[in-house]
Structure 1
């Protein structure tokens, strides 16, 4: 709490300025501690930033362990109007010649003539019939719309619709096996009365049940569906039109995802590397705590270890991996300079993927086999190793003794906060001492002013006495 004092009334000295000057000298240790707290807060912010960048790096590393990014396949068609295809990761790179002779169709029948009345009026027909083995009962009050709904809700696997007064029935199953079966059961013959089915069969079969017929690489095949997934492992062919020239389907590795994944990793790694180097570098005298906090963590052994470990993980080959691609460098990821920044040659990765995508993926994430060559369910590789290391830095876990291990940034922030708390405690002690010192100075200067005032008063009394004596002598 500030005090109001009136200094120098007797002495003429600016005692307030003298006191403030003395207090300012005594306050320097507090100023230094406050500046240290400010720097430590910047260090905390730096560790939060490091944590965020490492988390982003881990996300890109996990994409390196994603099988879809390296083993995805793409299928290209020379005539998408006739045949298209999709491929999953199990498909082999190859080209297939496909010729569609016939498309598979869904059996479709219709009434031979329009109803002749509103589709909402009663049909005045009462009877039972079966459709694909499902019995359907028609009441005399049912309209054509009611019959449509009963068929659709029957579970017979038939889609009923009404077009221009015609009831149309379409099998839900394509191919010859999807041919609809109908029969009269009892009552009025509803199917015959509506002109759908009689003793001679279907009155108006608009589309016969037919299988797809095609040749693939010269081999004739027949399938019940136009979507065929059992001809080539991992490839699904979809037929759209028949006739015409052959369509060529080319299955190849979809390299775009892999290139994007590695590019993202290199970019984020360089971001982490640049930030760490900036914090560890020996700054110029005007850089510490300045823009970017250059040199804030100079000499920090924890951060130095992180930098060194990340660099080792990137540049060290997988020694126990017996394939042609055994390091980042073999996939086009190399250092630019001694500072550890990475560059990426995408063409080298693309060539490796076209050559052996499994080997490329396994470099990042391969299963460890036992002595008999059987998978153990444990995984290793560049991506796995880096992800495991980053996980230890970023995720709360337990050590071998069951103790909670917090993320490295949390550990650092907690340690820094303890130092800040201690500095604040010392500042409070100093502030209390400074307050007492100020009170003592005020008392001392007040006493001085009082003493001077008393001396001045005595001097004035003495002067009056001398004047009186002098006047008396003159009178005598």
Structure 2
């Protein structure tokens, strides 16, 4: 075989006699490679389409989240809290809290029961990280009334810091935490209030830690915790915690310090949050539509160098565009829970280029006037009791023959159909794949088929190249032998003539 030195694996010596060498064979192979070029171009286009749909999906997911946020009650009923003395008393409110104001006077701040050890003699010449040289077992009652006693083993190599770590590792079970203050061990309840706790243990260990209550000269100091006491609008309240969430529905009162006079606190609806959310909705819609427009652009087919978007002619992408336009600018399903009929009534408008915008001033004014009416336009849900049915539509009954009842949720508003559209494109349902999943599988199958065809055709071309190399190599050899024979013959003839 010839020496292989060229990029295509063909000897550069080939063609010395036949004048058909590596370059000529490559040209012949290239002439037969049209189908391979077309298949590779087709593969590149599918990959470009696949990547375009991945980007569409990413933007749809972001848009989907803003739609879901518009459906959440906390978006429309988030509360802003005020306090005349925020260092003394503050409040927070959930979406269930009503706009209101309260006068709160704090007589007593809740504290935790606490026990400070006596002097720890072994700490005289040591740091909290040195071995303490004491051992034994500490015992705590379980926080759970039905739980077992919690035992903590202390070793001689443990430092005072190690001991506090071991106690804190069990805080979830015991309800007791440990700290070190001025080389003394301080134990306290995790929760505030009048709840007591007790630590027990081996006598020698309790003595070494300054925790022996019977040691008259070095007994620990125990202080019982107290409950928080305050008045709200003149009503007396006592709770074990400084964060009280069971006095006013949806409101948590945070007590920080005792007060001499009433602190005025209040909640009002946060009107900025729905504005921010709707602005995000507008932004995400425009970004998604702009991207779809770019990727479905057909350009000018009459031009030779026309460049189309990878999704030009994609009916699925076109259907998504038209559905979005219709749902964003059209009339939502009948919704008797709001007086608004069109998105434009709330300041949502689309210009001639299809760009969505929000008139913030108009929207804010409507929010101030009737926030519930605005919220209900975007989303309203109601639950009703209905008879539960099986997959065949038959009413399910209990042992007494009475129909089993369940809640049926009905949804209304501007975002409902948009939410359904996004779900159909993004989420696989029981027994039904999403549009994106179907697209993804189709692209993967097409690429797999193309790769197999490309491999088969490439193998065919490789065999054809090998055939050409063998054929023209033999031709070269034959022509070389013929030239050598001719040279020999001419030499012999010359010698005859000389004689």
With the shorter chain as reference, the TM-score category is 0.5 to 0.7
Gapped runs of 5+ residues in structure 2?
1-7, 112-117, 121-185, 199-218, 387-405
Task: Report what 2:371 is aligned to.
Answer: 357
Distance 1:26 1:352 in 2: 70
How do residues 187-266 of structure 1 correspond to structure 2 at under 5 angstroms?
212=230, 216=233, 221-224=235-238, 234=250, 249-266=265-282
Task: Report what 1:332 is aligned to.
Answer: 347
1:407 aligns with 2:443: no
CA contact (8 A) 1:152 1:159 kept: no
How do residues 150-161 of structure 1 correspond to structure 2 at under 5 angstroms?
157=195
1:270 aligns with 2:286: yes
Determine helix, strand or coil for the equivalent of 2:13. coil
Which of 436, 443, 447 is the equivalent residue of 1:416? Answer: 443
Task: Report what 2:56 is aligned to.
Answer: 50
Q: 1:53 to 1:440 in 2, by over 3 A?
A: same
How do residues 18-417 of structure 1 correspond to structure 2 at under 5 angstroms?
18-80=24-86, 84-93=90-99, 98=103, 103=107, 157=195, 172-175=226-229, 212=230, 216=233, 221-224=235-238, 234=250, 249-283=265-299, 288=307, 295-322=309-336, 323-338=338-353, 340-368=354-382, 376-399=408-431, 405-417=432-444
Q: 1:462 to 1:237 in 2, by over 3 A?
A: closer
1:4 aligns with 2:11: yes
Q: 1:428 to 1:375 in 2, by over 3 A?
A: closer
Distance 1:355 1:119 in 2: 67
TM-aligned CA deviation for residue 415 of structure 1: 1.2
TM-aligned CA deviation for residue 268 of structure 1: 1.7
Q: 1:459 to 1:357 in 2, by over 3 A?
A: same
TM-aligned CA deviation for residue 83 of structure 1: 5.8
Q: 1:321 to 1:426 in 2, by over 3 A?
A: same
Distance 1:19 1:228 in 2: 88
* Deviation sequence 1:340-364 (CA, Å, 0-9, x none): 3222233333223222222233233
CA contact (8 A) 1:227 1:237 kept: yes
1:434 aligns with 2:461: yes
Task: Report what 1:189 is aligned to.
Answer: none
Distance 1:78 1:106 in 2: 21
CA contact (8 A) 1:75 1:86 kept: yes
Q: 1:86 to 1:433 in 2, by over 3 A?
A: closer
Q: 1:381 to 1:466 in 2, by over 3 A?
A: same
Gapped runs of 5+ residues in structure 1?
108-117, 121-147, 176-211, 289-293, 400-404
Distance 1:10 1:227 in 2: 99
**Alignment TM-score, normalising by the size of structure 1:** 0.64
TM-aligned CA deviation for residue 301 of structure 1: 0.3
TM-aligned CA deviation for residue 9 of structure 1: 3.1
Q: How many residues align?
A: 379
TM-aligned CA deviation for residue 279 of structure 1: 0.6
Task: Report what 2:393 is aligned to.
Answer: none
Distance 1:41 1:313 in 2: 31
**Alignment TM-score, normalising by the size of structure 2:** 0.62
Q: 1:428 to 1:18 in 2, by over 3 A?
A: same
Q: 1:227 to 1:415 in 2, by over 3 A?
A: closer
TM-aligned CA deviation for residue 234 of structure 1: 4.8
CA contact (8 A) 1:70 1:361 kept: yes
Distance 1:156 1:249 in 2: 27
* Deviation sequence 1:362-382 (CA, Å, 0-9, x none): 23331247799x984232323
Q: 1:349 to 1:249 in 2, by over 3 A?
A: farther
CA contact (8 A) 1:81 1:241 kept: no
Distance 2:78 2:101 in 1: 16
Task: Report what 2:166 is aligned to.
Answer: none
CA contact (8 A) 2:384 2:408 kept: yes
Determine helix, strand or coil for the equivalent of 1:172. coil
